Structure 1
Amino acid sequence: MAEKMEFLPKTELLSLEELDRIASIFISLGVEKIRITGGEPLVRKNIDSLFSSLSKKTQLKELTLTTNASQLKKKASMLKESGVKRINVSLDSLNPTTFKKMTRIGVLENVLEGIEHAISVGFEKIKLNTVLMRGINDHEQFDLINYAIEHDLDISFIEEMPLGETDFERKITAISNKDVLEKIKGKYSISKISMTTGGPSNYWQIDGTKTRIGLISPHSHNFCEDCNRVRISCKGELFLCLGQEEKIELLPLLRDHPDNDQPIKEAIIASMKIKPISHDFDLKQSRPAVVRFMSHTGG
């Protein structure tokens, strides 16, 4: 997120009912997997009702969540009852001081308690998402992997993406997953596996454990040729690529046509024609590839 966030008025945001309607429209067009993400989706007032409604859509094969785990102690049981089988947890540090520095307001103890509660609830899989940054948390790579092994979790390392203006230089802090993998191979016995979750990760199994390591590498191993994802922002913007600015405004269509889904369906179908071939991430550029922050379109 930006250092100084300006939050939008409620009238500019999709209501939970509008989010549910958009989901239903995408499902009617053949979408079988939906991920709820953020920001932090579990802080949204009455979010339980959205999960409850989505759980009743029989054509939806997979409902997943990306969370910072701060609310999991309160929400894990609801999520399990709503049919969420897999969750991703953003966790970049196991050091309380570093964690607070990176998240600005996060309390590591709450997050770890949330993860442990989610484990006790019994999701099919919980995966940690970690962005290693040189000179900030890269020395914790093995600590995070060992935490995952200890708790039978998966972990994915995501290369830092040039989204949004920041006070630090990403060409200095960014770490290639090629280097991450080499360090992993030097410490653990791992085997490449062909597992896919419909996302951009390449996976390795840590031999003798239940833990799988994923590498999401938009710089060192561009995955655009396999991308079939689109994103809906809280403002109803349909983004066709995380790393590009092309978008379709769905919120006006939803409100102009409260009883007719056809205009929204036609806009979604037409948007596929402008889905970019690739992002243009380049850490050597002095400005970010996209000025929009990650929090705007979700993790």
Structure 2
Amino acid sequence: MPEEEQAWFPKEEVLSYEEMLRVLRVGAGLGIKKVRVTGGEPLTRPGVADFCAQISRIPGIQQVGISTNGTLLSKLEQGETIAARLVKAGVYSANISLDSLDRSSYQRTTGRDLLPKVLEGIDAAISAGFRAIHLNCVLMKNQTDREFVPLINYAYEKGLLLRFIELMPVSTQEVLSENNFLSTHAAKQMVEQHYGELIPLPDFKTNGPATYYAIPGTEQKIGFIGAMTNLHFCESCNKLRLTSDGKLRPCLGSYLEFDLKERLRAGCTDEELADFIHGVVARKPKEHDFRHNYQPNRRMIAIGG
């Protein structure tokens, strides 16, 4: 896996919390109901819990979530964990990346020896009382195929939802090589070799595009997200992504991005901002470009997962 190195933007190029809140207020007026704060790692930005509290108070916003690598959730801030502060701020759900339970594999994949902090963070999230916690594992050949059982057992012990996600060429095309890519179909077969035939859960839904199953004989649910192999993957997508430097993207797997910051700082009215958002939604493609020799122009951490 490539190291995700991202140069820091100069402060003046990054949207302020006030600018983002204005966009969200206008978006809520257009019918946006759910907001997820992502990164990069969103918890590295000072004041993120207070920012989430302000989002949750916007009329029309029904649910606020956060996506994190988990390393800072157990950090103490103002006498309590960041996880606890987020829950008090009204954050409903936490998506936590957990690609491996093997410390050396985790370090090799992420470039950092932080698995113990991630596991502490997951425990802090459970203690804090998020309404939903999802563990996200990116499927990698010659790694995940050795860890299905430990990961599923860990999720079962913690009472958490676990999702397996196909690699996508968001940051680099190299992830789709024969040495790296593991499909959700192959992953499901490997899981069934150990647990038996998985039980489909067609009526179980979360905010994402996962297909869910139950592990036989348990209440444990696991999901598979097949962005590359599921040809119907994009049909229900209604997401927009606002990058930290003020670009509005209608699709993760597309080159399309529109400069919202320029309009904000040029003094546009809320009505003009609403028209701009409508225009971006109208440009949302029918499907992503990942299957068409997509050449990334931004790394994932600069878009938002």
TM-score by length of 1: 0.92
C-alpha distance in structure 1 between counterparts of 2:64 and 2:175, whole Å: 35
C-alpha distance in structure 2 between counterparts of 1:141 and 1:225, whole Å: 28
Match of 1:29 in 2: 30
> Is the 2:175–2:181 Cα contact (8 Å) retained in structure 1?
no
Q: CA deviation at 1:254?
A: 1.1
Q: CA deviation at 1:168?
A: 6.2
136 and 182 in structure 1: CA distance in 2 versus 1, 3 angstrom threshold: closer
31-40 or 99-108, which moves further after superposition? Answer: 99-108
Give 1:71's aligned amino acid: L
Give 2:105's aligned amino acid: T
Match of 1:200 in 2: 209
Q: CA deviation at 1:273?
A: 1.8
Q: CA deviation at 1:289?
A: 3.8
Among all aligned residue pairs of Structure 1 and Structure 2, give the percentage whose two residues are the same amino acid: 35
Q: CA deviation at 1:167?
A: 6.5
Q: Aligned to 2:179, what secondary structure does the other structure show? A: helix
Match of 1:173 in 2: 180
> Is the 2:6–2:302 Cα contact (8 Å) retained in structure 1?
no
67-76 or 206-215, which moves further after superposition? Answer: 206-215
Report the number of matched residues: 295
Residue deviations 1:125-152 (CA, integer Å, cap 9, x gap): 2110011211244311221111101111
Q: 2:255 aligns with which of 233, 245, 253?
A: 245
The answer on 1:295 being equivalent to 2:301 is yes
RMSD of aligned alpha carbons: 1.9
138 and 220 in structure 1: CA distance in 2 versus 1, 3 angstrom threshold: same
Q: 1:277 aligns with which of 257, 268, 286?
A: 286
Q: Aligned to 1:7, what secondary structure does the other structure show? A: coil
Match of 2:39 in 1: 38
- For structure 1, the residue ranges without an aligned partner over 5 or more in a row are none
Q: CA deviation at 1:164?
A: 2.3
C-alpha distance in structure 1 between counterparts of 2:166 and 2:144, whole Å: 13
Match of 1:261 in 2: 270
Match of 1:135 in 2: 142
Q: CA deviation at 1:77?
A: 0.8
Alignment of 1:107-186 (within 5 A): 107-165=114-172, 170-186=177-193
C-alpha distance in structure 1 between counterparts of 2:271 and 2:300, whole Å: 30
C-alpha distance in structure 2 between counterparts of 1:168 and 1:125, whole Å: 29
C-alpha distance in structure 1 between counterparts of 2:4 and 2:27, whole Å: 34
Q: CA deviation at 1:179?
A: 0.5
- For structure 2, the residue ranges without an aligned partner over 5 or more in a row are 75-80
125 and 238 in structure 1: CA distance in 2 versus 1, 3 angstrom threshold: same
> Is the 2:68–2:96 Cα contact (8 Å) retained in structure 1?
yes
> Is the 1:37–1:65 Cα contact (8 Å) retained in structure 2?
yes
Q: CA deviation at 1:232?
A: 0.7
Residue deviations 1:29-50 (CA, integer Å, cap 9, x gap): 1001111111110110111221
265 and 12 in structure 1: CA distance in 2 versus 1, 3 angstrom threshold: same
5 and 57 in structure 1: CA distance in 2 versus 1, 3 angstrom threshold: closer
Match of 2:68 in 1: 67
Alignment of 1:3-22 (within 5 A): 3-22=4-23
> Is the 1:162–1:282 Cα contact (8 Å) retained in structure 2?
no
120 and 102 in structure 1: CA distance in 2 versus 1, 3 angstrom threshold: same
Give 2:300's aligned amino acid: M
Give 2:214's aligned amino acid: Q
C-alpha distance in structure 1 between counterparts of 2:96 and 2:54, whole Å: 23
TM-score by length of 2: 0.91
> Is the 1:237–1:249 Cα contact (8 Å) retained in structure 2?
yes
> Is the 1:2–1:165 Cα contact (8 Å) retained in structure 2?
no
